[in-house]
Amino acid sequence: MCRIAAYSGPAIPLENIIVRPKHSLLTQSQHATEAKLAVNGDGFGIAWYGEDTRPGLYRDVLPAWADGNLLSLCRMVRSSHFIAHIRASTVGETSRVNCHPFTFANWSFCHNGQIPHFASIRRRMEAALPDDLFAARRGTTDSEMMFLTLLANGLQENPTAAMREMLQVIGPATDAGPIRLTCVFSDGKSLYAFRYASDDHCPTLYFSGVLDNGGRALASEPLCGNGARWSEVPCNRVFEINAQGIGTPSLDLVA
């Protein structure tokens, strides 16, 4: 399973979330404690927001711990809003275009989990995309297809409704195995999170009420190593963090 970390609050160096905490995302790339695999070495990426409404993006196929530029980048770049991801691949080869986050216009998106029957629904999902989103597809992952499907179903206007429609498109689990997904995405103003599993075993995701600097964060595993300061993101509901704080999760999307 992949690992995710995201932040919203006063501008900070990226390293304050990705590198410096006791159980940082960089540490989790080799020593994850709440995933099937302790090592997540199939690439990484960061999407961050600044004055431009479109996010900056840095991705590579190297393991996060092996990239000589990552520490310097995280030390020098400051942002009030960013998403970072380390990949343990399930669908799609190890290539830069398959590394998360994925971006389109002002949106950024990353995913942990898998649609086991993706091969059987891929063509149908591709055919349902409008031309601009179909042309934007670069990789071969189920994750990128989920992102484009969300955009096609009104992510900009209503993230909760878009997520509900995407689950309908994916359909029920098959003999290929359970559907499990945790998504973190942003429009540059709010962070959104969603956890779902057809067998009720959702991939992990936690949120911090307030960090020491007043900011808030999401992470696959608590970054400080102290789980008491972190709470689980609820399953089956779109969860939002914005400048006003933590929003009320939307109504349960799964009957």
pLDDT of 92 > 60? The answer is: no
CB 86 within 8 A of CB 3: yes
Structure tokens that stand for 11 in this block: 């501008």
d(CA 218, CA 137): 27
Structure tokens that stand for 13 in this block: 């160096």
pLDDT of 62 > 90? The answer is: no
Q: Which of 91-100, 162-171, 241-250 has the highest mean pLDDT?
A: 162-171
DSSP string covering the chain? --EEEEEEEEEEETHHHHTSSTT-HHHHHHH-SSSS-S---S-EEEEE-SSSSSPEEEEESS-GGG-TTHHHHHHH-EEEEEEEEE---SSS-S-GGGSSPEEETTEEEEEEEE-TTHHHHHHHHHHTS-HHHHHH--S--HHHHHHHHHHHTTTTT-HHHHHHHHHHHH-S-BTTB--EEEEEEE-SS-EEEEEEETTS-PPP-EEES--TTS-EEEESS-TTS-GGGEEEPPTTS-EEEETTEEPPPPPPS--
The angle, 0 to 180 degrees and rounded to 10, between the axes of the packed helices 142-152 and 159-170 is: 130
DSSP state of 154: T
d(CA 19, CA 110): 19
Mean pLDDT over all residues of the chain? 91
The structural domains of the chain, ordered by start, are 3-246 (3.60.20.10)
> What number is the average pLDDT over the span 182-196?
97
200-243, pLDDT tens digit by residue? 899 999 999 778 788 999 999 999 866 678 999 999 999 999 87
In the Cβ-directed half-sphere of 119, how many Cα atoms lie within 13 Å?
6
Position 33 scores a pLDDT of 87
CB 181 within 8 A of CB 113: yes
If pLDDT is split at 50, 70 and 90, which confidence band does 123 have?
A: very high
> What number is the average pLDDT over the span 44-67?
94
Position 226 scores a pLDDT of 67
Position 250 scores a pLDDT of 75
d(CA 82, CA 234): 21
Position 225 scores a pLDDT of 67
Of 32-36, 69-73, 152-156, the least confident: 32-36
If pLDDT is split at 50, 70 and 90, which confidence band does 22 have?
A: very high
CA distances, 132 to each of 52, 65, 154, 168, 186 (Å):
21, 35, 14, 22, 20
Q: What global pTM score does this model have?
A: 0.94
> What number is the average pLDDT over the span 190-197?
96
Between 185 and 41, the higher pLDDT residue: 185
Between 214 and 71, the higher pLDDT residue: 71
Position 170 scores a pLDDT of 96
